[in-house]
Structure 1
């Protein structure tokens, strides 16, 4: 049986200063949702002192959320989509490119699996990537 959805949990380190910019992060996540072939329903972003940002983009297929700690260059990203047409990996890749992360730890969870008995479970894979070294 087909899974109900795909859930990406992303830890990003060494992020650029953009992770303190509320308006820019909102633009990035809305564009990520568009690139993932999803429909945006609502958007809410908020700044937390001194420079952190939290935001959520509710999509017809579920959500994208972000929480940042610019003082240590860290971003937590959560993207969950359901539906066969959505492309959550495209959204993840776009966000990571835009924030200039140096390293990531990603977990992809395949959710809503069942063996035909209506008892659902998930499976996951996790990996790390070095995206940039010494600012390159």
Structure 2
């Protein structure tokens, strides 16, 4: 019984111990001194998805990896890299999923086509329902 309680306590405590105790990356939460560079970095950060949170951009996420990605973006912008080059590097490293605007490719056609198909299906169903109501 005692072992089961200890195991249960360890399992419950695991999420609390998931983040490291290391300090955040140097530019994770610090703006760049040049306002133009910071604006370019922020514009890029809001278009990149946090790999942990999945529903948040790296600009909004408090996850450790999002902080690392913010620092990386700021360092590269500060070094003079273009935002699109940084985006392409991150996509090459993490896949198209890291971008909120995936490219239109055969693999992503369902992603782009599903809203249109659902709209057409809803219209067809609504028309059929209205025709039935008119007949009665």
- Greater strand content: 1
Q: TM-score range by the shorter chain?
A: under 0.3
**Higher normalized contact order (CA 8 Å, seq sep 6+, divided by chain length):** 1
If the length of structure 1 is used for normalisation, what is the TM-score? 0.24
Report the TM-score when normalising by structure 2: 0.24
